[in-house]
Structure 1
């Protein structure tokens, strides 16, 4: 797997607001956006990018396409992904939010059969600072370096990237895996990728409430990962038995001196349970994003 300035990229849904905005930003960053797809608009250009009706037409005209970024309507995302796979594209980044879970199940079955990497849905994609932008990461927050950044929440991942940058800790890659109940590639897959990456000397994993991905990651890091890992989990002070959106999780993660009792719960999926899993695995956990640079420098010093 390689993300370089030579990587060729297709934007499905390039005429949609999400696709149009970020196709232009990706291109301005230096990403080789070689084609866009928007049925009914074939033959036109957008941001000097040729637009096609079908992925197969784009591939026939521009040649090899390494990655498809998908920005279509959520109920069209499955068809767009399957069309990309049928055209031979084996890396998909689904930026679209609200993709139906059963559609994602169908896609993952196809992806497993065809050995296709799927990132997302509801994700900010990937950035390799100074080389390539594949998604919605604000490029000005990132700088080249050796810290790999993995997160579920886009906004929080951006904040931590900026915190690292201000501390003089550049990033080898920033990956947002998405926050839906069913996503493509997981923390475990990316931990393995970054552990084998010669450009990554340390990893920051950014978790949040819900699901069991962080607990599984804690076990995997303890058993299989040699690269130093530092963790931050949002939502430690969130009220019990309540589901949160990203904004609410970030607000609830800031101590306000009024304990809700959630800080002592051990229920699966709570932020506190995730923190406990990492502590048990002897993985450093930051209480707030501003502590991450110190913990990274300490981990690198020990190494």
Structure 2
């Protein structure tokens, strides 16, 4: 069953005529994603990789019945594009774009919540339901079909963890990159709930990092609501305070909030096995599955 996305999902690509949009469309199609339309204002009538392009998302939905969208649009255009997309009834949106203004993210998140729309990002590598479909830039060859759900704040770390798991014989059901900005559209507990309800997922791996309170909130949710085992890895154990570590959201506040140690402690108190380094995730997954 997986979560959020499957091979039947009708997807549209916003920003399909740009260089990145064109190349990623080709790779998503090769993976099996059911792309039915593209949108670029002023480029209606174009065809990219055999996909018809429309001027507006309303036209694309009316003509092709699209139900999910991925954005390859400039940061200043994300807010307007998101509102238009939500207004025509799209229920799943993935925002790859970086540097979206925080205030725009907050407005979009509220609007999406009020409209019952699942939106992932910004600065997200995307979503992949392994062996079926992907929306975004995740490399399909890094994943193997299986029964492990993956939630990650870091794209590259999620690839490393997924390859290690696949090599050891543990494939993934769905992997979701939530985005690495200080404010994101979807929080970890929301995704944990979806994996908890998914009959094709036996265990969830959470890849976190310093900054923010996502992992602490996840720990509270796990303690109260999760019956499936969770294994985690938190990057940045030695990160200094108030220094951004690559991602915009990977920064420890001066009051000590958001440290790797605070996240590890919260997760361990919730019964989560926490790896000391990425490769240890495999051993902990083996341990938890053997005991569950």
TM-score by length of 1: 0.91
Tell me which residue corresponds to 1:58: 60
Query: How far apart are the structure 1 equivalents of 2:183 and 2:102?
Result: 6
Q: Are residue 292 (structure 1) and residue 275 (structure 2) matched?
A: no
Query: How far apart are the structure 2 equivalents of 1:111 and 1:126?
Result: 18
1:141-152 pair list within 5 angstroms: 141-152=142-153
Alpha carbons of structure 1 residues 167 and 68: separation in structure 2 relative to 1, 3 Å: same
Tell me which residue corresponds to 1:78: 79
How many residue pairs match? The answer is 287
Tell me which residue corresponds to 1:188: 189
Of the structure 1 ranges 143-152 and 18-27, higher mean CA displacement relative to structure 2 is found in: 18-27
Q: Would the aligned equivalents of 2:61 and 2:67 in 1 still touch at CA under 8 Å?
A: no
Look up the SS of the partner of 1:83 in the other structure.
Answer: helix
Tell me which residue corresponds to 2:28: 26
Report the aligned-residue RMSD.
1.6
Unaligned 5+ residue runs, structure 1? 250-261
Unaligned 5+ residue runs, structure 2? none
Of the structure 1 ranges 232-241 and 173-182, higher mean CA displacement relative to structure 2 is found in: 232-241
Q: Would the aligned equivalents of 1:40 and 1:53 in 2 still touch at CA under 8 Å?
A: yes
Look up the SS of the partner of 1:289 in the other structure.
Answer: coil
1:84-103 pair list within 5 angstroms: 84-103=85-104
Q: CA deviation at 1:179?
A: 1.1
Q: Can you list the C-alpha shifts for 1:65-110, whole angstroms capped at 9, x where unaligned?
A: 1101111000001111111112111111111111111111111121
Q: CA deviation at 1:182?
A: 1.4
Q: CA deviation at 1:185?
A: 1.3
Q: CA deviation at 1:266?
A: 8.6
Q: Are residue 225 (structure 1) and residue 214 (structure 2) matched?
A: no
Query: How far apart are the structure 2 equivalents of 1:276 and 1:266?
Result: 17
TM-score by length of 2: 0.95
Tell me which residue corresponds to 1:274: 263
Q: Would the aligned equivalents of 2:69 and 2:92 in 1 still touch at CA under 8 Å?
A: yes
Q: CA deviation at 1:246?
A: 4.1
Q: Can you list the C-alpha shifts for 1:42-70, whole angstroms capped at 9, x where unaligned?
A: 101011111111111112221x2110111
Query: How far apart are the structure 1 equivalents of 2:19 and 2:215?
Result: 33
Q: Would the aligned equivalents of 1:266 and 1:272 in 2 still touch at CA under 8 Å?
A: no
Q: Which aligned runs of 4 or more in structure 1 are off by greater than 2 angstroms?
A: none
Look up the SS of the partner of 2:189 in the other structure.
Answer: helix
Look up the SS of the partner of 2:94 in the other structure.
Answer: strand
Query: How far apart are the structure 1 equivalents of 2:161 and 2:46?
Result: 39
Task: Report which structure shows greater RCO (CA 8 Å, sep ≥6).
Answer: 2
Q: CA deviation at 1:241?
A: 3.2
Q: Would the aligned equivalents of 1:146 and 1:200 in 2 still touch at CA under 8 Å?
A: yes
